[in-house]
Amino acid sequence: MKIVTCVAPVNIAVIKYWGKRDENLILPINDSISASLSTDIMCAKTTIMASPLLKENKFWLNGREQTFDSPRFSNCIKAIRARCDETLPQFNWKISICSENNFPTAAGLASSAAGYACLVHALAQLYEIKGEISDIARQGSGSACRSIYGGWVQWHKGDLPTGADSIATQIAPADHWPEMRIIVLVVNDCRKKYSSTSGMKTTTETSTLVKFRAESVVNQRAKAMKKAIEDKDYESFAEITMKDSNQMHAICLDTFPPCVYMNDTSHAIVNLVHSYNEYKKGQKVAYTFDAGPNACIYLLQSEVEQFISVVNHVFPKPADIDAVEYYRGLTLPNKQ
């Protein structure tokens, strides 16, 4: 019998992945960049047991039994097993997988990214696979490839049709920028109407703006973002983060029919951040939004107290914002 347990972090993109060039292999149309949050606060945890005594494969996610048949899940299992040494005894044993997230799904944070990164890493441990696995995590959920690493991470879109070069690499470890913090503002809202998968598919089919982004904007922006992170240049980092979030959501509106993820409260947060920065005479706080209305705020520790008090003043509870969660992220090991 063999048992492995792994944890993997949630990641929050500052250069967004939005649009695929290959739906099946999950190959993106552009590079993206994110930071992984501390696994102390938010993570996925997966335990896998392999045993000759097990009669069938089983998978539980947050306490509910799941099928092995979902295409993305089975693609990950197949891809991992293809790299396994078939003479290992566990290769022929049935497995039992138990996965859970230690954060509320209501936070609307990319649980699938942490979940697939964790699953793939745990399978790699089980089957004793060395080397790159972010290309396999990518086949579960695109952004999962970035959760394979801690700190600041770039997902390279790659050029090969096989996807072998569409992998994640670490730009800098978590302790590179120790003053950086992330606050998640959980906006009161029902479940999102369009999944990121269906939203991206419709965008790729209908948006003209997404082509402009891929051809003329995002490469330059990813380079500038990498430099801002390397130089710990917060002002540049903040400006690029906000512009890129805004462009992703402009593309969502340019999709037909449009995918509307941000709501009035999200826009009120955008206005609040810009007013705060105007008052402070510089970019001191940056917002970014994924496929939902919740805001992720990147800021330095020196701004946290003041910004939170402004948020609490503008959105007194109980009002539009359900909870102001304050995640002190970015204290990860270099590699999960």
Binding-site ranges for ligand PMV (CB under 6 A): 13, 16-18, 32, 110, 112-113, 141-143, 196-197, 290-291
Report the C-alpha gap between 234 and 319 in whole angstroms: 31
Report the C-alpha gap between 57 and 331 in whole angstroms: 35
Task: Report, in Å, the least distance between residue 276 CB and ligand PMV.
Answer: 24
C-beta of 113 vs 272, nearer to ligand PMV: 113
DSSP state of 179: T
The candidate with the shortest Cα–Cα distance to 134, out of 167, 102, 157, 101, is 167
C-beta of 112 vs 265, nearer to ligand PMV: 112
Task: Report, in Å, the least distance between residue 34 CB and ligand PMV.
Answer: 6
Secondary structure of 88-119 in HEC code, one letter for each residue: CHHHHCEEEEEEEECCCHHHCCCHHHHHHHHH
The candidate with the shortest Cα–Cα distance to 257, out of 296, 189, 207, 214, is 207
Report the C-alpha gap between 304 and 183 in whole angstroms: 8
C-beta of 49 vs 117, nearer to ligand PMV: 117
Report the C-alpha gap between 120 and 115 in whole angstroms: 9
Burial of 75 (0-12, 13-18, 19+ CB in 10 A): middle
Task: Report, in Å, the least distance between residue 331 CB and ligand PMV.
Answer: 20
Token couple for 74: 């089975």
Task: Report, in Å, the least distance between residue 192 CB and ligand PMV.
Answer: 10
Collapsed DSSP state (helix, strand, coil) of residue 15: strand
Task: Report, in Å, the least distance between residue 218 CB and ligand PMV.
Answer: 11
Chain position carrying tokens 């992945």? 17
C-beta of 141 vs 294, nearer to ligand PMV: 141
C-beta of 141 vs 265, nearer to ligand PMV: 141
Task: Report, in Å, the least distance between residue 306 CB and ligand PMV.
Answer: 28
Element (H, E) at 236: helix 234-254
Task: Report, in Å, the least distance between residue 259 CB and ligand PMV.
Answer: 10
Report the C-alpha gap between 144 and 11 in whole angstroms: 8
C-beta of 29 vs 110, nearer to ligand PMV: 110
Largest alpha-carbon pair distance within the chain?
Answer: 66
Q: Say whether the peptide bond before residue 318 is cis (omega within 30 degrees of 0).
A: yes
Task: Report, in Å, the least distance between residue 136 CB and ligand PMV.
Answer: 14
C-beta of 21 vs 58, nearer to ligand PMV: 21
Task: Report, in Å, the least distance between residue 33 CB and ligand PMV.
Answer: 9
With a CB cutoff of 8 Å and minimum separation 6, the contacts of 204 are: 19, 20, 21, 29, 210
Partners of 124 in the β-ladder: none
Collapsed DSSP state (helix, strand, coil) of residue 164: coil
C-beta of 153 vs 321, nearer to ligand PMV: 153
C-beta of 90 vs 134, nearer to ligand PMV: 134
